[in-house]
Structures are given as C-alpha cells and as structure tokens.
Structure 1
Amino acid sequence: MMNRLIRLSPLALLTLSACAVPVPEKSSRFSWASTRALIAFGDSYTYVQGTRGYANSTFIGSQLDLSYTPQELLTDLIVQNQTATAEGGPNWVEYLTGCGLKPGYTSPLKCEPQLWDFAFGGADISVDFTPLHHNWTISLENQVTQFIGYGNLVLEKFLDKKKTLVAIWIGINDISDSAKYVVNFPTFYNTLQDRLFSLVSSLYALGYLNFLFFNLPPLNRRPGLVNSANPLPNATMINWWNDALANHSSLFAQQNPDTNVMLFDTHAVLSGILDESAKYGFVNTTDYCAAYNQPDILTDPEKYGCLPQDEYFWFNSGHMTSHVHQILAGALEEFLQKESRGK
C-alpha cells in the first residue's frame, strides 16, 4: 500500500523556496504541526463529497439552498469512493489532512487536523465575470457568503482560528471559461483577483489569520491541448493569472501584517512532474483512460484497454488523477513545514 503522501525529491523541492509571500516577523507565526483544522474553498480540484452535499459537487448544500443547520453540518460525513471527488479517489485536501482517505464515511470531527471543505465542483470566482456551470453551482463568492452565514457560526465555537488554515484554490474554471473573451487579459485577471481578495478580507474580518493560496496548474498541457497549435488558455495567459495572484497575495500580506500568507507554486510542482513523469511512476501524461468513470476501472483497467489508473497523470480531460494529488500533497506538506520554520 502506498504511503499517504508522496514526497518530491530535494532537487524538485528547490523550486518551492520562492513560493511563499514574504511577510514581516510576527509573534504568531504559522505552524503546520499545530494546525488543528483546514477550511477549504475552491472548485473540483478541491471539493469532497459529503452525505449532505449535492451529488458529485460538494460537502454540503448547493446554490439551490445555501442554508444548513449546525446539526446538519456537524453530522455531515465525508464520502470516499470512486465518484466522491473529481479525481477517482482522494484529492489533495484528504491526503494532506489524512481525513476521508478510507473508503466509506468519515466525520471531520474525528480527524486531526479536521477537514471542513466548502469547495464546489465547477466553481468560478463570481457570476459577475463568468456564468455558473449549473444552477446549483456555488461560486467562490457564494461559498464565502454561505460560510459567513452558516459555517463559521458553528465552527468558531470549537476551532481555534489561530490554529486553523484557510486554503483557497480557484481560477481553473475562470481562466478556461473566459479564454475566448475579447478583453485585455492581464487587466481582466487583476480584476478577478481584486474580487478574490475582497472575499479573503471578509474571512480575515472573521478572525482567520492563516491563508494558503495556489496558483494555476499547467492547464495548457491538458489532454486535447498539449498538441494544439493554439491551446486556450495558453502558457502566457496562465502566467498572467499567476503573476496577478502573486501580486495580490503579497499586497494582502503587507496590508495585514498579522496574517500568515502562503502561496504554493502548484504550477512549478506539476510541471516538474510532467517533465520527469517516469520518476513518479507515470506512463501516460498526454491522454487519459476513456473509461475512467466505469465502476470497475480501478480493478480491471485491461478490460477497457487502459493502463492502471495510477499510471496516468490525467484522470479525464480536465482533472488530474488521485495519484497526482497524492504527490502534490506531499510537496505541499513539505512546503508548509518549511513555512513553519520561517524558511
């Protein structure tokens, strides 16, 4: 059986040294070892299925009904099966926390650290810029609205906010959904980041001080785009987005010196895995198994003419396999440990 986390080589991890946003020395430095809860927001790269969530979309609730009671939140269970994430298995939040890794049902209350995941599959930042994928999709803006109105009121009664990490990974749908817009993209992406960090400010106002952000993966290397003469989004667009995120996260840290702001360079880590895929056990990095959603694909891939799922980098045309998330979480944990030491 594989370890919960797969770590990158020391050489690969050198790229992470510049990923943190520099912040002034403070009395309350972030400590991953002392972190007791992870609160996550984002899209399908982050969501986990809950027993009270919308199917294949979220841990709890939907845009059709944002409300829930304290009892509903506290009795909600993380589901782990083939369809409980967009990765065909555990994703990075589950590998990082160890919460919800086992098949079946897991209460966040029984995990250390606890995992409270409010991400929604298909989410963009706001409908002011890109349309909802479905009428039940909760945008990041409404994820935060929902959390302020319901989730925080419950969790703050027993979570120490100084020992809670708020993670936000968003933008994958935003940059893809807007790729054919006729706009000045650097300006547009900065406008999106303005909205993102207005939402972060709302979470900061609640008393949360530890924030983790992720830049965009190499989306231009997804199946169907990798050999395209004009992939959208292209590498330049992705760099513009990542630059805007870096600038905004740095500014937020400077304006709020009591916060711990960390920016994880997802793009560098995943690009490194793609560039040296054999080192990590990947055989196919340009395609995916067309039968990825078949119920027996994990146990009998040969039946469909496929490799074992762990040998693919891509789970489908838009998502990475659980194996990639496992490696990513290993790199992320080492990054968080370095941040804890002030490096």
Structure 2
Amino acid sequence: MKLTAASCLLLSLYTNATPTPPNCKHDGRTFNWRTTKSVIAFGDSYTYIQGTLGRTNYTYIGDNFDISFTPEKLFASRIVQNQTATAEGGPNWLEFLTGCGVDPGQHDTRKCEIQLWDFAYAGANTVSQANFTPPHWNHTVSYERQIQQFVDYGNPVLEGIHLKKENALVAIWIGINDINDLAKLRGINATFAPFYEQVQRKVFKGVEKIYNLGYRNFLFMNLPPLDRSPSPSVSASMISAFNNIHTAHAEAFQNKHRESTVLKFDVNYVLNNILDNYQDYGFQNITTNCPGYNQPDIRTDPKKYGCGEGLHTYFWYDSGHLGSRTHEVFTQKLAKWLMKQG
C-alpha cells in the first residue's frame, strides 16, 4: 500500500534512525539535493526577496509596469538583507535553504554556493483577474506573469551563463493570497472547491511552461496554517480542501511527466507541529505578533514595544506572515527532507 504524503513526511522528519521508506520516494528520475546548484523560485510574499533593482518591498527584479530585463540588469541586482528585505523581518526560507543572502548587506547570487534566482512578487495571486482574484496593486506581478517573465527573459539569461538545468530546483509556493482573497470576495460560506480547481489549473499551466524549457526538478509547498494566524480569514477545512486539490494536481503532473522529480513538501503539517510544540523551538507567543514588528529599533529595544525578548520569540511576524525565526526552523526540516529524497 502506498504511503500518503503526510505519512511519508512524518516518517522522513521524525524517523531519523532509518532511511526514508522506498514508497516515499518520488516517481521521477534521481534527485540529489547535494548536487543542486541553483534554485529558481516563484510565489508571493512568503517567497519574495528584495533586490537592489527590484520594486522596494515587493520583488528582486522588475514589476508589472515592466517585467523585462537585460542580462546586465539581472546580474547587477543584489539580494538585500535587512529588516525590510523580506516580509518576514529577516531571511526567509529560500535564503536559509540556499545559504544565499542570509547575512546582512547585499549579495551577488552568482557567488552563492547555491544560486538563488527569485521571481516571486509580494502580494501576488496566481492570476490577476477581475471578479476572481484581482491584483492587489497595479504594479503586482501575478504568478502567471512571473512565469511569463521567466520564459521571456529569465531563462534566456540563465541559459546564457550555461546554468545546468539538471542541477536546478524550481520552487513554487503560491496560493496564500488566492485563498484569502477568494474568502473575502465570495464570503466564508461559499462553495470554494471549483475556485480552488481554477487556481490549480493555472498554477500547473505555468509549471508546464517551465517543464517545456527543460527543467525537471520541482518543489511544491502547500498552504501554511493560516487559520491559526493572528487575524485568520479562512478556516482549517478551507485550507485542507485547497491543499488536497493542490496535491491532486501535483500528482497528475508527476503521472504525466514520469521523468521529472516532483517533490511535495507538506509545510502545513510541519508548521502545525511546530505550533503544537512551540516551546521546544524557543517560541513564546504563537497567537499574536509583536506590535512594534516594523519599527527600526525593534531588535535593539523590543521591550519598548512590549515584545519581551524580541521578534525571535514570536511565531508570527505580523498578522499574516511567519517570522524569520519560523522560516529558519521549518527550513531546517525542509533541508533534511530534501537530503532524504535522493
């Protein structure tokens, strides 16, 4: 009997004395995190990182007014690491995973041991579409547009530097704004499954475009426990429905492309487990966020804002984003999991 994704994750994370069971392996070709040389990412504020030539507080490169860029511009942009360079108040999961851009200052991704090419945009939905999930701002680059930006401009640049696609991992974490916006637009009692299906069809239409460029290693992240955030607008059952539909589409993509590696990381399960055992990870507050989270002196004087020992003791950075320390904790588990996939 084939193990479920949740069961596989549970075993791979917590059964450290034994190898990952064979049925937990992906069905595609061999994947080896140890030989991965680059990560290419798409998504929203949980994934975006600030670039010196990106829109401030939104992106590494470009915006919806102009998604084009030259090779020279892409190579000139630098990862910025400071309090406002992500939506987490510090390094996010991609920076912790690759080790690229973790330290304060500016970083050239080409000099990182694992290059990080991030096309995510803070505030992005899967698609920007009136009466469905309209854009948050006129400069927002939706996931759909991020993919097109990569097809038209990003991939040609990376091919120009002979990036090895067999050693690249395409990471996609999208849907957080979709589920929240659909709930606000349709009402909490709406029947959401058809809308979630529409979202996932769009997500994997984009994945097909990346596949057609020759990339074969894909990492998918499901929705975090937004129902446990300080200001939830969705329920646990809504998140479960969304994640189940996402998993079904990921498995369908794997079945269609057997030569690909499709990695489905159940970040919802992992984060719920951290929340349930938060004291084991040094967290002191998992229900609210520090009211002074965005103040310039919050790290040097957290007690001034009633934030105790500091941001690192809060699971949530603000009302809807995980703190940088939370990203660090779950990324440690993600890295161990990736090591066991091949």
Q: Of the candidates 131, 146, 150, which is equivalent to residue 149 of structure 2? A: 146
Q: Which of 323, 328, 332 is the equivalent residue of 1:321?
A: 323
Q: What SS does structure 1 have at the residue aligned with 2:271?
A: helix
* Match in the other structure for 1:7: none
* Amino acid across the alignment from 1:139: S
Instruction: Report the 3-state secondary structure (helix = DSSP H, G, I; strand = E; otherwise coil) of the residue aligned with 2:297.
Output: coil
Which structure would you say has the larger RCO, counting Cα contacts within 8 Å and 6 or more residues apart?
A: 1
- 1:242 is matched with which residue? 243
How far, CA to CA, are the matches of 2:281 and 2:226 in structure 1?
19
Query: Which residue pairs with 1:202 in the alignment?
Result: 209
Aligned equivalents of 1:299, 1:240: Cα separation in 2: 42
Corresponding residue for residue 167 of structure 2: 163
One-letter identity of the residue aligned with 1:327: V
Describe how 1:1-343 pairs up with structure 2 within 5 A.
Answer: 13-14=13-14, 23-24=26-27, 26=29, 29-128=30-129, 129-157=132-160, 158-180=162-184, 181=186, 183-225=190-232, 232-307=233-308, 308-340=310-342
The code of the aligned residue for 2:234 comes to P
CA distance in 2, matches of 1:25, 1:127: 32
AA of the residue aligned to 1:149 = D
Runs (5+) with no aligned partner, structure 2: 1-9
Conserved 8 A contact 2:219-2:262: yes
How many residues align? The count is 322
> Aligned in 2, Cα 1:184/1:92: closer, same or farther, shift over 3 Å?
same
Report SS of the residue matched to 2:148.
helix
Question: What is the TM-score with the length of structure 2 in the denominator?
Answer: 0.91
| Partner SS for 2:337 | helix
Counterparts in 2 of 1:102 and 1:224: CA distance versus 1, 3 Å? same
Contact 2:147 2:206 in 1 (8 A): yes
Aligned Cα root-mean-square deviation (Å): 1.8
Give TM-score, length-normalised by structure 1.
0.90
* Letter aligned with residue 205 of structure 2: S
Q: CA deviation at 1:11?
A: 7.7
Q: Deviations over 1:192-238 (max 9, x none)?
A: 1011101000000000000000000110100033xxxxxx3101110
Report if aligned partners of 2:12, 2:340 keep a CA contact under 8 Å in 1.
Answer: no
Q: Which runs of 5+ in 1 are unaligned?
A: 1-9, 226-231
Partner of 2:5: none
Cα pair 1:22 1:250 within 8 Å, conserved: no
| 1:250-282 residue CA offsets vs partner (Å, 9 max, x unmatched) | 000000011000110010000001001000000
Q: Distance between the aligned counterparts of 2:99 and 2:166, measured in 1?
A: 21
Letter in 2 for 1:179: A
Per-residue CA deviation, residues 8-35 of structure 1 (Å, 9 max, x unaligned), is xx989249979x9864364xx1110000
**What is residue 4 of structure 1 aligned with on the other side?**
none
**Relative to 1, partners in 2 of residues 1:120 and 1:15: Cα closer, same or farther, differing over 3 Å?**
farther
Distance in 2 separating the partners of 1:22 and 1:302 = 47
**Inter-partner Cα distance in structure 2 for 1:250 and 1:72:** 37
Q: 1:255 to 1:12 in 2, by over 3 A?
A: closer
Q: Partners of 1:156 and 1:68 in 2: how far apart?
A: 15
Is the CA contact (8 Å cut-off) linking 1:21 and 1:249 kept in structure 2?
no
1:100–1:106: 8 Å Cα contact kept in structure 2? yes
* Contact 1:21–1:253 (CA under 8 A) maintained in structure 2: no
**Aligned counterparts of 2:27 and 2:101: Cα–Cα separation in 1:** 35
Q: 2:13 is matched by which residue type in structure 1?
A: L
2:36 partner SS: coil
Q: Cα offset for 1:304?
A: 1.4
* Aligned-residue offset at 1:184: 2.6
